[in-house]
């Protein structure tokens, strides 16, 4: 089965033989791929909205996947040891995890594809007792996605690794991302400088962000 580079990167990071919960499963393509490839022991697909849930139910009717119309980790089966949270903003991902932080005891791996606020996600999931195992960049339709696998444990990080990605700076895709992001930040800085009510602390913040990225 063919799936997008992004979903494939998520699937590849999931530990083989796991019992997975996929929160926000939507189209169910990740579920189809994981079942067809035989990579996981089980997968529990969750949607909290009726419309996407009906699509999910229909798309997975021929697959051995338990699906649930519920919120976040509310109905998580006890055997679950991997959580997937993909295609959502960082704040939503963190809200879902923090609402049920008491359910994370048996969770060995959290695979995240945050479409915004990846830095915040890295910083906050680490505080929940996880370390970054691996990070993979994929690009689709000119958008760069940072897919992150967290596992239980502790590690020390440089600030730039949490800000821009862990162990990714030698990846050719990171070089591309860096050029694009630098152009964006330089434009933002120029606009800030021209703005009537420009704030010095804001200009300083963007300038130092540019410097840190240039030095990577």
Ligand X SMILES: C[S@@+](CC[C@H](N)C(=O)[O-])C[C@H]1O[C@@H](n2cnc3c(N)ncnc32)[C@H](O)[C@@H]1O
Contact between 97 and ligand X by CB under 6 A: the answer reads no
Classified as helix, coil or strand, 161 is helix
Collapsed DSSP state (helix, strand, coil) of residue 23: strand
Q: Which residues of 53-68 are buried (b: 16+ CB within 10 A; e: fewer)?
A: bebbeebbeeeebebb
Q: Which residue number, 116 or 193, has a Cβ lying nearer to ligand X?
A: 116
Among 24, 67, 94, 110, binds ligand X (CB under 6 A): 24
31 to 70: interface string for ligand X, x by CB under 6 A: ---------------xxxx--x------------------
- DSSP helix/strand/coil, 76: coil
Of the candidate residues 15, 39, 57, 71, the single one contacting ligand X (CB under 6 A): 71
Q: Which of 18, 21, 32, 72 binds ligand X (CB under 6 A)?
A: 72
C-beta of residue 173 within 8 angstroms of C-beta of residue 144: yes
Of 81-89, 132-140, 143-151, 187-195, which segment contacts ligand X by CB under 6 A?
A: 81-89
DSSP conformational letter for 38: T
Residue for token pair 């699509």: 55
| Residues 57, 140, 144: CA angle, nearest 5 degrees | 110
> Using CB under 6 A, which residues numbered 104 to 163 contact ligand X?
113
Q: How far is the CB of 83 from ligand X (least distance, A)?
A: 12
Q: Give the binding site for ligand X (CB under 6 A).
A: 23-26, 46-49, 52, 71-72, 86-88, 92, 96, 113
């Amino acid at each position: 089965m063919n799936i997008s580079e992004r979903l494939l990167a998520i699937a590849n990071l999931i530990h083989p033989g796991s019992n997975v919960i996929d929160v926000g499963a939507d189209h169910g393509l990740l579920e189809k791929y994981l079942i067809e490839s035989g990579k996981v022991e089980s997968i529990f697909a969750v949607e909290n909205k009726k419309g996407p849930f009906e699509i999910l139910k229909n798309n997975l009717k021929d697959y051995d996947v338990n699906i649930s119309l519920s919120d976040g980790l509310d109905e998580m089966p006890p055997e679950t040891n991997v959580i997937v949270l993909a295609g959502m903003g960082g704040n939503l991902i963190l809200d879902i995890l923090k609402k049920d932080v008491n359910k994370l005891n048996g969770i060995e791996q959290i695979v995240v594809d945050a479409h915004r606020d990846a830095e915040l996600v890295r910083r906050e999931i680490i505080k929940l007792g996880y370390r970054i195992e691996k990070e993979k960049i994929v690009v689709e339709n000119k958008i760069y996605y940072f897919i992150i696998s967290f596992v239980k444990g502790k590690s020390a990080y440089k600030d730039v690794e949490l800000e821009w990605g862990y162990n990714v700076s030698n990846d050719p895709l990171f070089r591309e991302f860096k050029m694009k992001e630098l152009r964006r930040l330089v434009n933002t800085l120029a606009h800030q400088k021209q703005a009537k009510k420009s704030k010095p602390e804001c200009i300083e913040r963007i300038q130092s962000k540019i410097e840190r990225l240039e030095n990577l």
